[in-house]
Chains A and B, each alone.
Chain A
């Protein structure tokens, strides 16, 4: 309510929309910039994926030579992870978190703009290797000594390091901003245990970024020095140890997995209650499970290194298995939220249900890999490729699309066309499984990852062909999505401020929200203030208690 006074006059400055968007410090505009920028990189990296899959469709080299192929899968992985999945979720968090907290903006609006603008710059630097003799071609993990100066002579690897340092800096700045916003900008009544689950997952994610990314940054600077100035960090010929790079990379890299999955879990935890009309079952358990995953994620990194022969296997195997427990708790809480709900199958809900069933597969294959003897067979095969795509794509990317369909009306005032959205979902869902499920089998049968070619006698041809067909179906599913976004943006159905009957504060303001977000706030007595407002009369007459963990009963 007090926030109205903060709204400055909009008559004072009249700027062209280009200048407006380039110089904005409004968290909502920055959020949209993040999302649009991320989707642009998503399409670029998707084209690289199609190149990779086309080459693998049948044995023999048809389209690419080895070097080009290696660049394609390296850039595909790098761009998808660092310039799509992480930033697109940051974009949604940027837009939604201040709204869900009842805040007028992020704590540091200018830092927010800075951390966004590093992203396109860093991404273009990484891509610019293609203009200077070839992009990095050592896999997104950039293992030494292959990525050292002696074996990767091109400047592409240096550009990769510099670009990624910028992206990492952006993440660190962004996470400081989120932490400050969440602790200092909450509206009156918004206690920590009334915060929406998305905010909790963003808080834990930001903490992980803050602790993990500097370690990778240090490693990348050391590698840059190794490559260009004769450092001896990772070069065994001068007393360095190449395994050190793997420790540094994965000390960042494993928390990174949770950096991309936790916000997607948060998105799903926002969507399930709305489309089942039930509160999230076990709010507090869910919060503690999120924190537990965050803590455990720092003690499992070396499970990526079981076959190096240089790590203490039982410890990392045990910690990896433990992380299945809080993840399992989350899964059970989601299931209990569905149970006896009143479920509608709007597109955001379809993608959220897709998340549950696909992430489940990624979780199970992850637990299988935690057993070192099993990992000795499956490590670095297509089984791992399938596993990571079920987590990143089946998990995070389904979450991203769920978020897109769910919050598009909030950002534009218009709802994406539902039939077209369902076509998109089913093409995406079927294409994803056709593309990636067969890769489990290829890996179990022994096909290593990152190979440009395979023998026609190996028996891998049919499944590779199927996988490639699935990849093209995923690519085709982008068409209904893009048509939907453009058509809706121009001439979509206007659906008012709260089309889904949402629970959280972003639905208590107009769509799109005004600058500084709220003219007035409803009272915040639970984690579902808008639900409480809508059912105020039910509560008086039908015995519905204010929602929230304290008010609950079994």
Chain B
């Protein structure tokens, strides 16, 4: 049992498998540092345990009164000095290696962190902003960043509100997204993804109420798939057709993480509008659930602001309306 716990602990102390060229170097450095730390830990802890067992008081004799020894002091000043110098040299070499900037990154993305979502703006060189690919996430659905495998990727990290941090555990790296005064260059982060796959990431610098929901994914794919992905977004991505109103307008508002009503009504079979007022300074929305299935999800936004959702006709019955960000905010929608 104890052995099992120790084994699980040892495995847990090793970071996630690295998936970028840079992360593989950091992974190696981390493991060297971990082993050095483990040796020091076992040595010192072992000495403490041995001493307290071996030298527990057995009689009332006074042990020899040793006050110190200069030679010994010099030796054990030298030991940690050597250890930390080795560590410093290794870490500086790794740092220089992973900080090499590519002259021609395959993709350059302006990453904007904002309360509480990510915006990925793929920069191209055609100078035409109308065809730019922009992926916008929400606090509920993190944005997805598609990337080609094997090419250097450059992220330009900008913020216009508070400090965030772009963190992908599988890449073993994070970089703060700092709102800087005009004239100061934003932070950049470069890496080369080595394996295709989907990697989750999230904001790592505390940024306010919904910090925990500021997630995103990185989807690494072949260059061909990446080009298709870009083309698909450029071609398609038409906004959902708006629904003509027939069933009237339902009003609801949210304040202090609570709806102003517990019960709403709508007519069955007819499209209707929900006029939703968010009086909180953070994200809310209105979603409509039938049992465990969400039949409608309104856009999440932070207030104070009002938005009108178009809902297509629902069958008669009892529904639950919920803020998808705060499931504790809910009520009953009766459709008849």
Asked whether any CB of chain A lies closer than 8 Å to the CB of B41, the reply is yes
Q: Which residues of B contact A284 (CB under 8 A)?
A: 68
Asked whether any CB of chain A lies closer than 8 Å to the CB of B252, the reply is no
Q: Which residues of B contact A339 (CB under 8 A)?
A: 51, 55
Are B208 and A151 touching (Cβ within 8 A)?
A: yes
Known contacts A138-B206, A325-B77, A444-B15: A379-B174 contact under CB 8 Å: yes
Stretch at the interface among B86-94, B103-111, B119-127, B259-267: B86-94
Chain A interface residue count, Cβ-Cβ cutoff 8 angstroms: 106
Are B204 and A454 touching (Cβ within 8 A)?
A: no
Report, as a range, how many residues of chain B touch the other chain. Answer: 35 or more
Known contacts A309-B178, A371-B90, A371-B91: A357-B48 contact under CB 8 Å: yes
Are A146 and B12 touching (Cβ within 8 A)?
A: no
A67, A70, A372, A377: which contacts B169 (Cβ < 8 A)? A377
B26, B67, B91: which contacts A547 (Cβ < 8 A)? B67
Encoded as 1 (CB less than 8 Å from any B CB) or 0, chain A from 239 to 266 comes to 1111100000000000000000000000
Asked whether any CB of chain A lies closer than 8 Å to the CB of B244, the reply is no
Are A338 and B206 touching (Cβ within 8 A)?
A: no
CB within 8 Å of B: which of A230-289? 236-237, 239-243, 276-279, 281-285
Are A277 and B63 touching (Cβ within 8 A)?
A: yes
Are A65 and B257 touching (Cβ within 8 A)?
A: yes
Interchain CA distance A437-B12 in the complex, whole Å: 11
Q: How far apart are B330's CB and chain A's nearest CB, in angstroms?
A: 13
Are B327 and A61 touching (Cβ within 8 A)?
A: yes
Interchain CA distance A547-B15 in the complex, whole Å: 50
Asked whether any CB of chain B lies closer than 8 Å to the CB of A452, the reply is yes
Closest to B88 in A: A321
Stretch at the interface among A123-131, A312-320, A414-422: A312-320
Known contacts A342-B63, A343-B56: A377-B212 contact under CB 8 Å: no
Are B91 and A545 touching (Cβ within 8 A)?
A: no
Asked whether any CB of chain B lies closer than 8 Å to the CB of A519, the reply is no
Are A368 and B57 touching (Cβ within 8 A)?
A: no
Are A374 and B30 touching (Cβ within 8 A)?
A: yes
Known contacts A357-B48, A554-B69: A338-B179 contact under CB 8 Å: no
Asked whether any CB of chain B lies closer than 8 Å to the CB of A523, the reply is no
Q: Which residues of A contact B76 (CB under 8 A)?
A: 328-329, 332
Q: Which residues of A contact B83 (CB under 8 A)?
A: 324
Q: How far apart are B62's CB and chain A's nearest CB, in angstroms?
A: 6
Encoded as 1 (CB less than 8 Å from any B CB) or 0, chain A from 355 to 388 comes to 0110011001101101111101101110000000
Are A328 and B181 touching (Cβ within 8 A)?
A: no
Q: Which residues of A contact B65 (CB under 8 A)?
A: 278-279, 544-545, 547, 552
Are A65 and B326 touching (Cβ within 8 A)?
A: yes
Interchain CA distance A309-B189 in the complex, whole Å: 9
Q: How far apart are A373's CB and chain B's nearest CB, in angstroms?
A: 5
Q: Which residues of A contact B47 (CB under 8 A)?
A: 335
Interchain CA distance A451-B57 in the complex, whole Å: 48
Are B51 and A343 touching (Cβ within 8 A)?
A: yes
Are B45 and A360 touching (Cβ within 8 A)?
A: yes
Are A371 and B13 touching (Cβ within 8 A)?
A: no
Are A236 and B169 touching (Cβ within 8 A)?
A: no
CB within 8 Å of B: which of A342-359? 342-345, 353, 356-357
Q: Give the tally of cross-chain contacts (CB within 8 A).
A: 298
Closest to A457 in B: B200
Asked whether any CB of chain B lies closer than 8 Å to the CB of A191, the reply is no
Are A445 and B169 touching (Cβ within 8 A)?
A: yes
A236, A283, A374, A454: which contacts B91 (Cβ < 8 A)? A374
Interchain CA distance A188-B265 in the complex, whole Å: 88
Are B57 and A361 touching (Cβ within 8 A)?
A: no
Encoded as 1 (CB less than 8 Å from any B CB) or 0, chain A from 482 to 496 comes to 000000000000000
Q: Which residues of B contact A314 (CB under 8 A)?
A: 92, 95
Q: Which residues of A contact B66 (CB under 8 A)?
A: 278-279, 281, 336, 340, 552-554
Q: Which residues of A contact B13 (CB under 8 A)?
A: 440-441, 444
Are B175 and A376 touching (Cβ within 8 A)?
A: yes
B73, B79, B88, B173: which contacts A318 (Cβ < 8 A)? B88
Asked whether any CB of chain A lies closer than 8 Å to the CB of B40, the reply is yes
Are B209 and A450 touching (Cβ within 8 A)?
A: no
Asked whether any CB of chain B lies closer than 8 Å to the CB of A548, the reply is yes
Asked whether any CB of chain A lies closer than 8 Å to the CB of B9, the reply is yes
Q: Which residues of B contact A552 (CB under 8 A)?
A: 65-68
Closest to B33 in A: A368
Q: Which residues of A contact B209 (CB under 8 A)?
A: 66-67, 70, 137
Q: Which residues of A contact B77 (CB under 8 A)?
A: 325, 328-329
Most buried by B among A60, A307, A463, A535: A307
Stretch at the interface among B129-137, B159-167, B229-237, B271-279: B159-167
Q: Which residues of B contact A451 (CB under 8 A)?
A: 202, 211-212
Known contacts A146-B206, A321-B84, A547-B65: A308-B176 contact under CB 8 Å: yes
Closest to A374 in B: B30
Closest to A305 in B: B176
Are A313 and B62 touching (Cβ within 8 A)?
A: no
Interchain CA distance A340-B172 in the complex, whole Å: 45
Asked whether any CB of chain A lies closer than 8 Å to the CB of B25, the reply is yes
Asked whether any CB of chain A lies closer than 8 Å to the CB of B34, the reply is yes
Closest to B75 in A: A332
Encoded as 1 (CB less than 8 Å from any A CB) or 0, chain B from 278 to 319 comes to 000110000000000000000000000000000000000000
* Sample of 9 A–B contacts (CB below 8 Å): A236-B179, A236-B182, A276-B63, A279-B66, A370-B87, A371-B90, A377-B169, A451-B202, A455-B200
| A-B complex: 3 closest residue pairs judged by Cβ atoms | A552-B67, A446-B169, A328-B80
Name 5 extra pairs, CB < 8 A, besides A310-B178, A373-B94: A239-B182, A279-B66, A325-B81, A377-B173, A446-B169
**Chain B residues engaging chain A, CB cutoff 8 angstroms:** 9, 12-16, 25-26, 29-30, 33-34, 37, 40-41, 44-45, 47-48, 51-52, 55-58, 61-69, 72-73, 76-77, 79-81, 83-85, 87-88, 90-92, 94-95, 98, 115, 161-163, 165, 167, 169-170, 172-176, 178-182, 184, 187-188, 200, 202-213, 215, 257, 281-282, 326-328
